[in-house]
């Protein structure tokens, strides 16, 4: 039986900061939702078109790569930018989303519908809530990376190409 301290997963996370782990978890969630969205387009009440699923997969793969391979500075920058973008999208959806019942589809999934690309990419209330949740997760990852960056440099082995980054 293999000792749990030598398990590859433990080794992969041993020197990960909390911000790295948040970035990795957020990326994994995006990938899972992106894959499920192809089979269940109304997953968790969201409108998941092919374009939407591709965006989730791209965001997820990029977040996983940054979380596992990038320097702490890049985790901070990536997390802030992605988090702010998703937060803005969620908030703008509630502000500019269509609340007129006469133009809503009969599916019931179109409350606060915002057509980003008409006929290709529409997001609704459930999408806005998801975007706010995921945006908050990534902003938190960025805040933790920024706040604890000095401590992480001292205690964790270096992952970047330039010492001190």
> Which residue shows structure tokens 């080794």?
11
What is the DSSP pairing of strand 114-117 with strand 121-123?
antiparallel
- Cα–Cα distance for residue pair 157/78, rounded to 1 Å: 21
Mean pLDDT, consecutive 10-residue stretches, the chain (165 aa), reads: 51 68 90 94 87 93 90 85 93 79 49 75 84 90 68 48 48
Q: What is 52-70 written as a DSSP string?
A: HHHHHHHHHHHHHHHHHHS
Give the model's pLDDT for residue 27: 92
Length of the chain: 165
């Amino acid at each position: 039986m293999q000792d749990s301290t030598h398990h590859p997963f433990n080794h992969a996370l041993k020197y990960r900061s909390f911000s790295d782990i948040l970035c990795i978890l957020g990326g994994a969630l995006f990938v899972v939702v992106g894959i499920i969205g192809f089979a269940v387009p109304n997953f968790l009440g969201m409108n998941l078109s092919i374009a939407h699923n591709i965006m989730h997969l791209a965001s997820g793969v990029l977040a996983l790569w940054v979380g596992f391979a990038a320097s702490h500075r890049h985790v901070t920058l990536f997390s802030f930018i992605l988090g702010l973008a998703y937060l803005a999208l969620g908030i703008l959806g509630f502000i500019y989303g269509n609340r007129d019942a006469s133009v809503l589809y009969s599916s019931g999934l179109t409350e606060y519908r915002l057509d980003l690309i008409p006929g290709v990419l529409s997001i609704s209330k459930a999408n806005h809530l998801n975007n706010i949740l995921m945006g908050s997760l990534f902003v938190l990852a960025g805040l933790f990376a920024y706040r604890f960056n000095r401590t992480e440099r001292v205690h964790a082995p270096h992952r970047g190409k330039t010492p001190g980054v």
